Structure 1
Amino acid sequence: MTQIYTTDHSASVLRTHSWRTVTNSAPYLLPHLKPDMKILDVGCGPGSITISLAKLVPDGHVTGVEYVPDPLEGARALAQAEGVSNITFQEGNIHALPFEDNTFDVVHVHQVLQHIADPIHALSEMRRVAKEGGIVACRESAELSWYPDSVGISKWREVTELMQRAKGEVHILGG
């Protein structure tokens, strides 16, 4: 299955994603984390959430996967710069995760399902690699709205939808 991420992994996109941590982007996980957990972060991008998770499970291990290698070198460098060693970054397809069944205590995805062709299959894959009694956690923002009306934002939305259609992405903003 072809993977398409409309906004790509350009430096500007990775910069906007790099501020994300568990605290500001996945606080729903905080009450469930234990120091020795094995966690998978799917669609890890620049690795900021992944690294944040690793800091919260110092006796565990966190694996970040991304479908292309583009952001992974930067993610590895950031983990090294922050002294985080209980972490691995690798390529992986959300529709065919390269892990055995029942491997992870937590399988997490943040702002990814809205960009893929088959989110139901992806969720099934995430469940497959989660341990019995484990957690599959997702956060998305597929619908956008704003007030008051803005010509600029409306034009941005129109261009974004055209770009998504041209690249073959099925899930259109607001559609």
Structure 2
Amino acid sequence: MKKQTFLAILLVGALILTGVIFEPEMSFADDVAVTASVSTSVSCSTTATSTAFGTLTTGSIATASPNSTLLMSCNYGAGCDLNINDAGGGGNPGLWNSSASDIVQSADATLSAGTEGYGIQAATTANGSGGVLYPSVNYWVTGDNVGGLTLGTSVLASSSVPISGREITVIHKAAISGLTA
């Protein structure tokens, strides 16, 4: 049986128009299966290929410039990881000074002026779409806190669902002691 909808339109001046609207009956006898193959992809780029501290002094904590912004996309259903590692020097992770043959060690720490230390902070931005690219807990810090780098691979940030154009900003911080200077 066709569905009926009663329609009444009241116009100013007591003129009433009425009518019935019939909706057609629809039925579908066949199901259609649609399949597609989509290959997984991951892309990553950075706004800065280098960052510099300038001259480090014992009286302050230095922040390198410019910050590095990493842009990442992945269409894998379980998300993706953004990994980092440190080149270090002398077999240790850290900020290597080749002319002095010395390294400022890298570790999870709260930096303080006059005490040697080096690490990074990471923050997510609102840019992009899909899931969120969350920084790892040890890098998602602020102030004078830093996450240490390793010679091996560490997860800088990850998502648990596909992302497109998500950004992570990386800030490098260092402090030196009187023995380092």
- What interval of TM-score do these two structures reach, taking the shorter chain for normalisation? under 0.3
TM-score of the superposition, structure 1-length normalised? 0.26
Structure with larger RCO (C-alpha < 8 A, sep 6+): 2
Which structure has the highest strand share of the two? 2
